[in-house]
Chains A and B, each alone.
Chain A
Amino acid sequence: MPVIAVDAMGGDFAPEEIVKGVAGASLATAIECVLVGDEPRIQAVLDTLSYDPSHIRIHHAADAVGMQEAPREALRAKRDASISVGAKLVAEGQADALVSAGNTGACLLACAREFRVVKGVRKPALASVYPRHVDHPGQDPLALLLDVGATVHCDAADLVQFAVMGNAWARRASKTARPKVGLLNMGAEPFRGGDVLAAAHERLAALPAIDFIGNVEGSDVAEGRADVIVCEGLLGSVVLKFIEGIAGVVNDVASYAVRQRLLWRLGMRLLSGGLREVAHLTEHAAYGGAPLLGFEQLLVKVHERSRAPAIANAVKLAAKTVRDGVVAEIAAAVQEVRA
């Protein structure tokens, strides 16, 4: 059974919600978790919870990087920060993957310092699953979007590599033999979006290993035309946050309607089940976080506002990824394209 290191001190609700998530996972699965952080604080939280001690280890780390701290400076000043220690445990082979809800910049930097990059990978990419429209029965209701924040701007070669890594992930994770890969752009024509995107389009279209469907637009993201959508980090992050914001908008619209008329209130009551479904679909907690692809070791980055269920799902996702050998598959796919 895989061993998953969990940064207990990262996130808006750390360590309580992180420890609670791990305690829940310890009862529901046989995954061994190593909680990295302030041992007395972690144990104090565990004492108030139902848990299985045989599936939980605590590795003490005296420091923690705050959510608002500048990553580089914080990691330099706090040598014993939980995220650094967690990344080190994974790099040394004491754990198979790392889960963190902490400061994204610090997570990426700590991993970049401790993890080994897959041979041939230029830049790692943070990938996130998101809900999409299902066209036919049996189609995976989740699609993959990458990069969502590991980079800011990329060149064509980076985007091609993201497509290769995303394709390998989707083949394993959603069991789709030939996932459809799209390039996020402002129009369907191959020359759209400037030199970088046009060059990436040309190179992806020439890759036989990938089922490239061409450019996809903003409206196609939710439509579900592609199983894997590739874009640079800045754009991906904006799209992801927009999707997460939908749940809030649905709630606001519903509250407005309820206040206005009795008839609308009754209508809302009838629709409430469906609205809850929509809110659930866009709820980040259900999807288990974003894997960082391109390293020989695995980081699953969870939303900063994550609570216990999201952490438990992230632990399960990390364990499944390790069991399925996804990282090795990505490395093989990258090598194949290079050759």
Chain B
Amino acid sequence: MTGPERRLGWVGALRVRRPRRRAAAMLAPVVYRWDLDKTYLKSDFESLAKMMRVPFERAEDKVDEPGVVALMRALRAAARAEGRRSFVYFVSASPPQIGRAIRDKLALDGVEIDGIVFKDQLQHLVRGRFRFLREQVGFKLAELLKARLAAPAGAIEYLFGDDWESDSLCYSLYADVVAGRLDHQALGDILVRLRIDPARLVEIRSLARKIPTADAVRRIFINLERRTPPGRFRSFGARLVPTFNYFQTALVLHEEGMVPLAAVVAVGHSLIDRATFTRAQLRNSLDDLVRRGHLRTHDPALRRDLEESGVLPSTAVPGWWTQRLWRRLRRRRSTPRPLPAKRPVVIDYPRLLDAWLASGGRPGEAAS
């Protein structure tokens, strides 16, 4: 038994049974694209001194966001168990000079990746184009589009970012370009308004023309590391899910059919063991997600499962062991059937940009 399964006990082994292999041919390859700082790493940029320290940090000095490692491992393991091809990429606006420490950190954490892209800040420094040092949308969008062209045909994607920079805007633009919901003229207008590097603008236009249209991006997760009010992301539509911790992210991915219940349990235990979360706090996180409408069902069975596996505080009388066993045998599918993709909301980019630019480009400041 693996770690999470062992935690569930002997009866748990019955429940966390091997997910039924769906016909591999039916399962589209899945690509997980991650931001690095404040999404995977708990990077500290709050002061200049701390920012200057980042390039000199070794892998063992770097701290990951609570629960993220457990979730990333679970995503890989779930895909492998289903016979689905999966890919993990990082796109970071950090300089490539920290690349080695990051790769070592990922290796230390046991996270397998397929690629990582950093932003070459040096070229802007050399040319004296200091304005573009902090520009992220152009860089990230171009890299995402390049990566999409290299992705396997028909791949679906999940994107993970945070509320510090412009991940919500950048990922939404990417998703709509790939889905063909944003024409080239409109995209150009948006990027001009965002004052991105003109060279990047040309590159993005060219890449956008080559991209085969597909509604590939299933979900965009924004880690609310700076506790931005979640309502500020409403104008990005239901595709974008702001989450306060990776337990919430795991719950949504479980409902999407991307990870089994054992993964949610593993992330929950990781938060309890490593981030001093309590079971009551995890229950509150689950309730918050339900109230915000990001879990489509208020599933009592899921709640009971999580209670029985020690992630949520127990509320119900468990009953005879035979009843518990029967309940577990009845729950044949630990990975729920994937839900149909949500109908995407048409994002009103001009209005969103008005608010965005008026607020100085702060994430999620767009009018909801």
Could you tell me which A residues sit within 8 Å of B by CB distance?
A: 27, 32, 39, 43, 47-58
Cα(A221)–Cα(B18), bound, Å = 73
Assess the A50–B287 pair: CB atoms within 8 A.
no
Question: By the criterion of a CB under 8 Å from any partner CB, how many residues of chain B are at the interface?
Answer: 19
Cα(A27)–Cα(B287), bound, Å = 18
Residue numbers in B under 8 Å from A47 (CB-CB):
229-231, 234, 292
> Distance (Å) between the CB of A45 and the closest chain B CB?
9
Assess the A57–B231 pair: CB atoms within 8 A.
no
Is B122 part of the binding interface, using a Cβ–Cβ cutoff of 8 Å? no
Assess the A54–B227 pair: CB atoms within 8 A.
no
Residue numbers in B under 8 Å from A43 (CB-CB):
291-292
Could you tell me which B residues sit within 8 Å of A by CB distance?
A: 227-232, 234, 244-245, 277, 280-282, 284-285, 287-288, 291-292
Assess the A32–B284 pair: CB atoms within 8 A.
yes
Assess the B282–A54 pair: CB atoms within 8 A.
yes
> Distance (Å) between the CB of B330 and the closest chain A CB?
30
> Distance (Å) between the CB of A314 and the closest chain B CB?
20
Given A39-B291, A53-B244, A54-B244: A27 and B227 interface contact (C-beta under 8 Å): yes
Assess the A53–B284 pair: CB atoms within 8 A.
yes
The prevalent SS among residues of B at the interface is helix
Cα(A58)–Cα(B288), bound, Å = 9
Cα(A54)–Cα(B285), bound, Å = 5
Cα(A57)–Cα(B282), bound, Å = 11
Q: List 19 A-B contacts (CB under 8 A).
A: A32-B284, A39-B291, A43-B291, A47-B230, A47-B231, A48-B229, A49-B229, A50-B228, A50-B229, A51-B229, A52-B244, A53-B285, A54-B244, A54-B284, A55-B281, A55-B284, A56-B284, A57-B287, A58-B291
Residue numbers in B under 8 Å from A48 (CB-CB):
229, 231-232
Residue numbers in B under 8 Å from A27 (CB-CB):
227
Residue numbers in B under 8 Å from A32 (CB-CB):
280-281, 284
Considering the complex, give the chain B residue whose CB is closest to the CB of A53. B288
Assess the B277–A54 pair: CB atoms within 8 A.
yes
Contacts beyond the supplied A32-B280, A39-B291, A54-B244: 5 A-B pairs with Cβ under 8 Å: A43-B292, A47-B231, A51-B229, A53-B284, A55-B281
> Distance (Å) between the CB of A37 and the closest chain B CB?
13
Residue numbers in A under 8 Å from B228 (CB-CB):
50
Cα(A48)–Cα(B292), bound, Å = 12
Given A43-B291, A56-B288, A58-B287: A50 and B282 interface contact (C-beta under 8 Å): no
Assess the A54–B281 pair: CB atoms within 8 A.
yes
Q: Which 3 A-B pairs have the closest CB atoms?
A: A47-B231, A53-B288, A54-B281
> Distance (Å) between the CB of B238 and the closest chain A CB?
14
Cα(A54)–Cα(B292), bound, Å = 14
Residue numbers in A under 8 Å from B282 (CB-CB):
54
